[in-house]
C-alpha cells in the first residue's frame, strides 16, 4: 500500500478498508474507493505548485468553513467525513461524478443556462444563510489557528492591483493618479463593507460549482471568509465574460436572469421600512 493509502487508512480508521484511489486532475483531489462500494473525496495540500496554494492554513480554513456551514444547516456543500490536520488531509462526502458549471458551458450543454442560474442562487443562499454570523465563524477559525478577518476582506484585489501595477509599469504604462485614487476608493469600500459583509468560499468560479440536474453544490473553501458581497456577485457577472463564448445563451439575457436569482436568494423576504425602504433578513441561527 502506498504512503498516501496508508495515511488515508489511518485517517479513516479501522472500520473501513481503502481499496483504490484515483486523482482528479488537475487538482490535488482524489476519489477514494472503499471495500463496501462507497467512495469519498480526499483533498491534500499542494506540493508542486511553485508555492501557489501551499499554505497549511488553507486546510484549517476549509475544515472550519464546512463545519460551520453544516452547523447552521446549509446543505449546498459537501459534508466532512474525516480529517487529519497534521498531514493536511480532509476527507469529504463524494457528491458523485458531477459536471462542473464550466464543463456545461464548455460543452454548450442544454442545461448550462439553468446551471448558471442555480450557481447565482446558491451564492445568494450562502450569503443569506450566514449573515450576521461573522463573529461565530471567526471564533471557530481562531480555535484552529491565527486568522486576520481584515486581511481576508481585501485578500484578492489588494494583491491583484499591486501585481497589475507592476506589470503596467514594466510596459511603460504607469497607472494615472485618477486610477490610483479609484482603486483606493474600491479598497476602502471592500475593507468596510457594512451591511454587505457576506460569507464567501473565496473562489466562486464556474469550476467550483458541481451540477446535479438543475441544482448544484459549492466546493473549494480553502480561502473562505467574510468579505464584501460584491466580490461573489462579480463572479456571477464576470465568469460569463470569461466563459461566455462557450455558451449559446446570450450574455445580456443570462446576466439579467442570474442577477435576479442572486438577489432573490440573498434577500428572500424583503421588508420595507420608512427610513430606508429596505431591510435585510435577520441573522441565521447557529448552535451554541
Predicted pLDDT at 71:
96
Q: Which residues of 176-191 are buried (b: 16+ CB within 10 A; e: fewer)?
A: eeeeeeebeebeeebe
Average pLDDT over residues 59-72: 97
Q: d(Cα 38, Cα 144) in Å, to the nearest integer?
A: 30
Half-sphere exposure of 184 (CA within 13 A, CB side): 7
Predicted pLDDT at 147:
96
Count other Cβ atoms within 10 Å, centred on residue 209: 29
Strand pairing category for 89-93 and 80-84: antiparallel
Average pLDDT over residues 83-96: 91
Q: d(Cα 76, Cα 215) in Å, to the nearest integer?
A: 9
- Confidence tier at 288 by pLDDT (50, 70, 90): very low
Average pLDDT over residues 33-56: 81
Domain coordinates in residue numbering, the chain: 3-93, 101-266
The whole-model pTM stands at: 0.84
Helical H runs in the chain?
3-12, 57-71, 101-106, 112-130, 134-144, 149-153, 155-170, 177-191, 229-243, 251-266
Average pLDDT over residues 202-224: 92
3-state secondary structure labels for all residues of 154-170:
CHHHHHHHHHHHHHHHH
- End-to-end distance of the chain based on CA atoms, in angstroms? 42
Class of domain 3-93: alpha beta
Strand pairing category for 197-200 and 225-228: antiparallel
- Cell numbers linked to 157: 484585489
How many residues make up the chain in this entry?
A: 288
pLDDT tens-digit readout, 261-280: 888 888 776 444 343 333 44
Which range (26-40, 59-73, 194-208, 242-256) has the least confidence? 242-256
Predicted pLDDT at 260:
83
Percent of the chain residues topping a pLDDT of 70: 84
**Assigned CATH topology for domain 101-266:** Aminoglycoside 3'-phosphotransferase; Chain: A, domain 2 (3.90.1200)
Per the rule left: phi > 0, alpha: psi between -120 and 50, beta: everything else, 92 is beta
Average pLDDT over residues 119-125: 93
* CATH topology match: 3-93 vs 101-266: no
pLDDT tens-digit readout, 125-164: 999 999 999 999 999 999 999 999 998 898 877 778 888 8
Average pLDDT over residues 55-75: 96
Non-local CB neighbours of 115 within 8 Å, separated by 6+ positions: 101, 104, 109, 209, 211, 214, 216
Predicted pLDDT at 252:
65
Amino acid at each position: 500500500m502506498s504512503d498516501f493509502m496508508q495515511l488515508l487508512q489511518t485517517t479513516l480508521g479501522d472500520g473501513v478498508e481503502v481499496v483504490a484511489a484515483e486523482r482528479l486532475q488537475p487538482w490535488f483531489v482524489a476519489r477514494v474507493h472503499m471495500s463496501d462500494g462507497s467512495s469519498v473525496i480526499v483533498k491534500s495540500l499542494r506540493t508542486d505548485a511553485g508555492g501557489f496554494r501551499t499554505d497549511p492554513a488553507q486546510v484549517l480554513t476549509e475544515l472550519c468553513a464546512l463545519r460551520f456551514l453544516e452547523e447552521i444547516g446549509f446543505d449546498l456543500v459537501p459534508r466532512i467525513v474525516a480529517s487529519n490536520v497534521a498531514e493536511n488531509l480532509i476527507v469529504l462526502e463524494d457528491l458523485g461524478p458531477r459536471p462542473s458549471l464550466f464543463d456545461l458551458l464548455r460543452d454548450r450543454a442544454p442545461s448550462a443556462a439553468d446551471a448558471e442560474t442555480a450557481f447565482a442562487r446558491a451564492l445568494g443562499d450562502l450569503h443569506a444563510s450566514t449573515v450576521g454570523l461573522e463573529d461565530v465563524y471567526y471564533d471557530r477559525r481562531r480555535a484552529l489557528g491565527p486568522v486576520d478577518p481584515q486581511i481576508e476582506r481585501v485578500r484578492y484585489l489588494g494583491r491583484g492591483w499591486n501585481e497589475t501595477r507592476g506589470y503596467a509599469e514594466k510596459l511603460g504604462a504607469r497607472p494615472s493618479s485618477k486610477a490610483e485614487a479609484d482603486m483606493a476608493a474600491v479598497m476602502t469600500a471592500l475593507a468596510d463593507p457594512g451591511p454587505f459583509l457576506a460569507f464567501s468560499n473565496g473562489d466562486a468560479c464556474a469550476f467550483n460549482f458541481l451540477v446535479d440536474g438543475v441544482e448544484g453544490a459549492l466546493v473549494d473553501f480553502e480561502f473562505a471568509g467574510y468579505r464584501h458581497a460584491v466580490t461573489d456577485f462579480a463572479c456571477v457577472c464576470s465568469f460569463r465574460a470569461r466563459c461566455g463564448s462557450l455558451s449559446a445563451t446570450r450574455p445580456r439575457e443570462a446576466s439579467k436572469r442570474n442577477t435576479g436569482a442572486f438577489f432573490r436568494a440573498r434577500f428572500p423576504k424583503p421588508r420595507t421600512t420608512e427610513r430606508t425602504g429596505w431591510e435585510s433578513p435577520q441573522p441565521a441561527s447557529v448552535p451554541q
